[in-house]
Structure 1
Amino acid sequence: MLANGKFKNFLALHVPILQEKYWPTLWCFESRLQTALASLLRSIYPNVKYSREILELNDGGQVALDWLEDGCPANAPIVIILPGLTGDSQSQYVRCLSLSANRMKLRTVVFNYRGLGGMSLKTPRTYNAANFEDLSEVVRHVKSLHPGIPVAATGISMGGLVLGNYLASQKMAAQKTLVAAMVISTPWNAFKAMDSLEKPVLNLLLNRYLTSGFFSFINRVKSSNMLQGPWTMEDLLKCKTVREFDSSYTAKQFGYKDVNDYYADASIHEKLHKIEVPILCLSARDDPFQPYEAIPVEEACKSKYVAIVITQYGGHIGFLEGILPVLHEEYMCRLFTQYFEGIFTSGSELLAEISKDR
Structure 2
Amino acid sequence: MLTTWLEPWGRALLFGAGYNTSLVTLGAMILGASAGMIGSFILLRKRSLVSDAVSHATLPGLTLAFILMATLWGDGRWLPGLLIGAAASAAFGLWAVQTIRDRTRLGEDAAIGAILSTLFGFGVVLITAIQSMNVGGQAGLTGYLVGATAGMLASEATLITACALLLLVAVFVMRRAFLLVCFDADYATTRGLNARHIDLIMLMLLLAVVVIGLKVTGLILIVALTIIPPVTGRFWTDRPLRMVAIAALCGALAGYLGVTLSSVRSGLPTGPLIVLAAFLLFAVSLLFSPRRGIVATLAAHQRFKRRVHLRQGLLALARDDAIYDDLTLRVLRRRGYIRRDGVATPLGASAARDAEHEERLWALYRNRYPDEAAQLDHQGLVPINSALPPDTVITLESDLQRIPGSVQ
TM-score (norm 2): 0.23
Return the index of the structure with the highest Cα Rg. Answer: 2
Which structure has the highest helix share of the two? 2
Which structure has the highest strand share of the two? 1
